[in-house]
Amino acid sequence: MKKITLLSLCVFAMSPSITFAADAAAGKAKTMTCTACHGADGIALIKTYPNLKGQNAAYLEKQMKAFKSGERKDPVMSPMAATINDADIADIAAYYESLK
């Protein structure tokens, strides 16, 4: 019985459907490059760039992953998104969502 329980816990822990909460504090530390266009407080410095402050994290993640995959193209964002892993994208999105 102990073996079955242990095996079940291992399978559950390795399941790809499990998501862990993003870390907004870690996201803040990962936004140094973002601030050049989107501002230190998530308010864009140039009107043609979007404000990220308070945006929904799921929306931001979807857009960043679209830039990363090439589904969405932009000469500035596409190369930047290509260098960011999914966990960092989640943290960054959580940080911008946390700004009120």
Domain edges within the chain? 18-98
> Binning pLDDT at 50, 70 and 90, where does residue 1 land?
low
Q: Minimal CA–CA distance to 49: which of 59, 64, 34, 61?
A: 34
pLDDT score for 16: 45
pLDDT score for 11: 43
User: Residue 71 pLDDT more than 60?
Assistant: yes
Question: What dihedral do alpha carbons 23, 81, 65, 75 form, nearest 10°?
Answer: 150
For 17-59, what is the HEC assignment?
CCCCCCCHHHHHHCCCCCHHHHCCCCCCCCCCCCCCCCCCHHH
Answer CATH for 18-98 from 3.40.50.300, 3.40.630.10, 3.30.70.100, 1.10.760.10: 1.10.760.10
Measure the CA angle with vertex 31, ends 53 and 46; round to 5°: 55
**Mean pLDDT of the region 76-85:** 96
* Range in 2-6, 7-11, 49-53 the model is least confident about: 7-11
